[in-house]
Amino acid sequence: MSCGWWGNTPSFSDDFITYTIKSGSHEVENNTNGLFTSSSMRFQAIFDASCIYQTRIAENQNDINKLMGFSDCSSQHQSNSARFGWNWRENALRIYAYIYVDGQRQEKELGTAELDKIQSFGIRTSGNSYIFTYNGTETTMPRHCSGGTGISYKLLPYFGGDESAPQDIRIKIRNL
């Protein structure tokens, strides 16, 4: 029997994945929304100066970009989902709980993130609620179904509502 690693070889320096949304795009390069089979996710993220942006239309600065999350209740993400969102507004990177509940979007600001610092995130389902954890603080949001997530998929970073990324946006994420 050998003493080799099974699966991916671990990294002991930087095990974050850098997601890039190219200028003029909404989605990350090589976007794959793989199946999601859990009722929770935990990850860390680092935002850098590329996340400081100005939209062409002033009111679009309030649009919430998406960080990461999952679809829910065996439905499409614009019907039922939970994810973290973010935007650059009033000289701060703001973090949000961002959900769809039976097709109705809801969001709640959770705080601000410091650039180039590790931020901790978690989402879990609990009955008919989502529990968002941002840097140790929990926030409860409503959920449409109460069982498992069903047939679900992971949602990766996405820029915008109305406008695409004004420059290349880079976000580093480490799944926990």
All structural domains of the chain: 22-175 (2.60.120.200)
| Tokens at 120, concatenated | 């901790």
CA 128, distance to chain mean position in Å, is 20
Give yes or no for a contact between 167 and 160, defined as CB atoms under 8 angstroms apart: no
Tens-place pLDDT, residues 110-153: 999 999 999 999 999 999 999 999 999 999 999 999 888 888 99
The pTM of this model reads 0.90
